[in-house]
Chain A
Amino acid sequence: MIHCRINNIDVVAEEGTTILEAARKFNINIPTLCHYPDLHINSDCRICVVEIDGWRGLKTSCSTPIKDGMVIKTNSPKVLNARKTITELILSNHDANCTACVRNMSCELQGLAKLLGIDENRFENVLERRPLDLLNPSLARNPNRCIKCGRCVDVCASVQGMHVLERMGRGHNMDIAPAFFQPLDDTFCTFCGQCANVCPVGAITERDNTDQVWTKLHDPTKHVLVQIAPAVRVSIGEEVGYKKGLISNGKLVSAMKHLGFNHVYDTNFTADLTIMEEGTELIHRIQTGGVLPLMTSCCPGWINMAEQEYPEVLPHISSCKSPQQMFGALAKTYYADKIGMDPDDIFVVSVMPCTAKKYEATREEFKADGRNSDVDVVITTRELGKMFRQMGIDFDKIEEQDFDNPFGITTGAAALFGATGGVTEAALRTVYEIVNNKPLEDIVFKDVRGLKGIKEATVELGGQPIKVAVSHSLANARELMEDVVAGTSPYTFIEIMACPGGCIGGGGQPYGTDNKMREERIESTYIVDGNMVYRKSHDNPSIQALYKEYLEKPNSHLAHELLHTTYAARNL
């Protein structure tokens, strides 16, 4: 153990502990800016500097390990002056029009400036304006707000293995940008949005579609329905600052109705449907010697990556549309018929934890009625939070309401989709019972749960042990792809999610998602599962009814038409 003194407090911590970690352990707050849990320490911003007796210069507390006998001051006049000066410097090259910024009141730079008491800037603003990138449906980049903290570069390179964003140029002209300063949609970008999630300022954000939603909600000719993804349920409470933790489905449905949606549905319904379709596909491929491993298709970030970078693996990917797109397709066909409306008048909004879903909804092939996009607008958890704030919804007081029918009943299996391993667990609950023709004793598949990068499990199916793998974050996906491309993959089924932790860690989730928050959201996911009446997709009576009434059976001709899709290599 190392003994040192921070601000006259005796501090004891393990060897290798940084000054920042040691200080936090003893409730001494050192402000930071570029620092981000789970990412590399690059100590670029220099905000967290401290004074160490006998050391020359000021040292960044994020990167300096404590040493025995160190005497550290975190708030000496010299330190405070340095922090203030550095913050002024950042602001001198920043479009600090705070009231006209999506991050107003949630901006880390703004918070820092307030904390340090910046009331004027001695330095002239030298910002040279650069063009915005608004050319894709998912993400907006505003280089004029970028403070070069490097978080997006790190998450894109080391977590996602993408390297879309890099530091370009040098000195005062350094920019963070894709190659050739191209717009994101000319790059390999998967629109996963992890960069937006970690951005401390308004330099990378989701494309905001809330105005479009408000317009349609007040258009009397439109029947506006909304589907909410499972991962949104476990994070919307954080976004709106709900103190009691998880917001119940009932309150959420009610709040959506307050916003003006005609009907509120649960994407979990089509998650159950996905399990029926994908499970059947898996069984079919196993029994007929089809292409294996079968890989999941729910995640649009992953699909973007596969189409752009791994065309060889496309035959491995399940032909199932994602739950979002299955819902959209049903809404514009089955549901339109059922309520007797022209699909032109039905407006489908999705609330997703994901920025890539915005892109997915715009894909040309997703027009089940031949004219309209199946999903008209996708908003993220953050945008939904914004709409709730605009409406002034008080979750303490709001009453409870049920999801609307005909898609009202969902299962715990579907709720699992939000967490890494969830699709696999849900699929196994169903596939096991169908293939083995006996009830599953323990429906919890522990091996596929948790934040380990690549997880494995073995299950007996029809007397054969089959291996499944689960990966989250695209860097981990790459690892699995090597074997699949080489034809040496030992797995029968692979679940891939682009974002760390799965959808609960999606790019559209509340800002500042870290592993601690991911764990909490995953825990909530399992609580939701545990509370459900039905916990296996094939037990869902609404699903059974849908097949009986309309689709006939999983993988039927109509199911293929509405619920399945194809993939194509996209060369850049």
Chain B
Amino acid sequence: MDLQTILSKYPPQPQYLIEMLIDVDDATEQHYVSEDELRTIAAYVGVRDSQVYSVMSFYTMLSTTPRGKYVIQVCKDVPCYLNDDFNVLKTIQDELAIGIGDTTPDQLFSLELTACIGCCDEAPAMRVNHETYTNLSDEKVRSILESYRSGLL
């Protein structure tokens, strides 16, 4: 979906800013909102670039810098931690050889931490883009990553 199509879904009002930004982030392979897109959106809803940037920089789901095709977000909060016997984060870091906040050189994966995603009854959990994966085990994490890598997911 291109930017104009996204914008045309919403009335040109600042209250729809966050909705538009999420859509743009989703529609972009690299999951971010570019400077040009940001300026276009600001003009569309009639606010300043600074006001949009303020919003962009506040919410964790939004990014002003390019990310991987698949953004992995690992829950770091207590209920997941208590059930995370094998260490989800370490497994992913082993597999992808990147640190938190980094993107793999092939631009396929970015690794981030997330606040609780409400899957504490099936902890530990993580998200890849908008898919949620729960009851994670070492093998499960590796196989999920492999599926994305091979294009199965």
Give residues in A with beta carbon < 8 Å to B: 162-170, 178-180, 187-188
Knowing that A179-B53, A180-B49 are A-B contacts, what are 20 other residue pairs whose CB atoms are under 8 Å apart, sorted by A's residue number? A162-B48, A163-B47, A163-B50, A164-B48, A164-B50, A166-B48, A166-B50, A166-B51, A166-B53, A166-B54, A168-B53, A168-B54, A168-B57, A169-B58, A179-B38, A179-B48, A179-B50, A179-B52, A180-B53, A188-B48
Q: Which B residues, 51 to 84, have Cβ-Cβ distances below 8 Å to chain A?
A: 51-54, 57-58, 64
- Contacting B50 at CB < 8 Å: which of A169, A170, A178? A178
Contacts of B52 in A (CB 8 A): 179
Q: CB distance A163 to B51 under 8 Å? A: yes
If A163-B50, A166-B50 touch, does A180 touch B58 (CB 8 Å cutoff)? Answer: no
Q: CB distance B54 to A167 under 8 Å? A: yes
Q: CB distance B58 to A170 under 8 Å? A: yes
Q: CB distance B51 to A180 under 8 Å? A: no
Q: Which 10 pairs of residues, A with B, have the shortest CB-CB distance?
A: A179-B49, A179-B50, A163-B48, A179-B53, A166-B54, A166-B50, A169-B57, A168-B57, A170-B58, A163-B50
A169 to B52, CA, bound (A): 12
Q: How far is the CB of A141 from chain B (nearest CB, A)?
A: 14
Q: Pick 28 A–B contacts, CB within 8 A, sort by A.
A: A162-B48, A163-B47, A163-B48, A163-B50, A163-B51, A164-B48, A164-B50, A165-B50, A166-B48, A166-B51, A166-B54, A168-B53, A168-B54, A168-B57, A169-B58, A170-B57, A170-B58, A178-B50, A179-B38, A179-B48, A179-B50, A179-B52, A180-B35, A180-B49, A180-B53, A180-B64, A187-B50, A188-B48
Contacts of A180 in B (CB 8 A): 35, 49, 53, 64
Give residues in B with beta carbon < 8 Å to A: 35, 38, 47-54, 57-58, 64
Which of B49, B51, B58, B64 has most A Cβ within 10 Å? B49
Contacts of A166 in B (CB 8 A): 48, 50-51, 53-54
Contacts of B50 in A (CB 8 A): 163-166, 178-179, 187
A162 to B38, CA, bound (A): 18
A179 to B48, CA, bound (A): 8
Q: How far is the CB of B77 from chain A (nearest CB, A)?
A: 16
Contacts of B54 in A (CB 8 A): 166-168
Q: How far is the CB of B47 from chain A (nearest CB, A)?
A: 7
A336 to B118, CA, bound (A): 77
Contacts of B35 in A (CB 8 A): 180
A504 to B49, CA, bound (A): 31
Contacts of B58 in A (CB 8 A): 169-170
Contacts of A163 in B (CB 8 A): 47-48, 50-51
Contacts of A168 in B (CB 8 A): 53-54, 57
Contacts of A188 in B (CB 8 A): 48
Contacts of A162 in B (CB 8 A): 48
Contacts of B51 in A (CB 8 A): 163, 166
A441 to B58, CA, bound (A): 60
Can you name the residue of chain A whose Cβ is closest to the Cβ of B60? A170
Contacts of A164 in B (CB 8 A): 48, 50
Q: How far is the CB of A59 from chain B (nearest CB, A)?
A: 27
Contacts of B57 in A (CB 8 A): 168-170
Contacts of A178 in B (CB 8 A): 50
Q: How far is the CB of B48 from chain A (nearest CB, A)?
A: 4
Q: How far is the CB of A481 from chain B (nearest CB, A)?
A: 15
Q: How far is the CB of B64 from chain A (nearest CB, A)?
A: 8
Can you name the residue of chain A whose Cβ is closest to the Cβ of B35? A180
Can you name the residue of chain A whose Cβ is closest to the Cβ of B48? A163
A165 to B52, CA, bound (A): 12
A166 to B47, CA, bound (A): 12
A168 to B47, CA, bound (A): 15
A162 to B48, CA, bound (A): 8
Can you name the residue of chain A whose Cβ is closest to the Cβ of B64? A180
Q: How far is the CB of B23 from chain A (nearest CB, A)?
A: 20
Q: How far is the CB of A523 from chain B (nearest CB, A)?
A: 36
A188 to B56, CA, bound (A): 20
Q: How far is the CB of A241 from chain B (nearest CB, A)?
A: 37
Contacts of A165 in B (CB 8 A): 50
A60 to B151, CA, bound (A): 56
Q: How far is the CB of B115 from chain A (nearest CB, A)?
A: 12
Q: How far is the CB of A256 from chain B (nearest CB, A)?
A: 40
Contacts of A187 in B (CB 8 A): 50
A166 to B51, CA, bound (A): 7
Q: How far is the CB of A157 from chain B (nearest CB, A)?
A: 9
Q: How far is the CB of B143 from chain A (nearest CB, A)?
A: 35
A430 to B35, CA, bound (A): 51
Which of A163, A169, A180 has most B Cβ within 10 Å? A180
A170 to B53, CA, bound (A): 12
Q: How far is the CB of B42 from chain A (nearest CB, A)?
A: 8
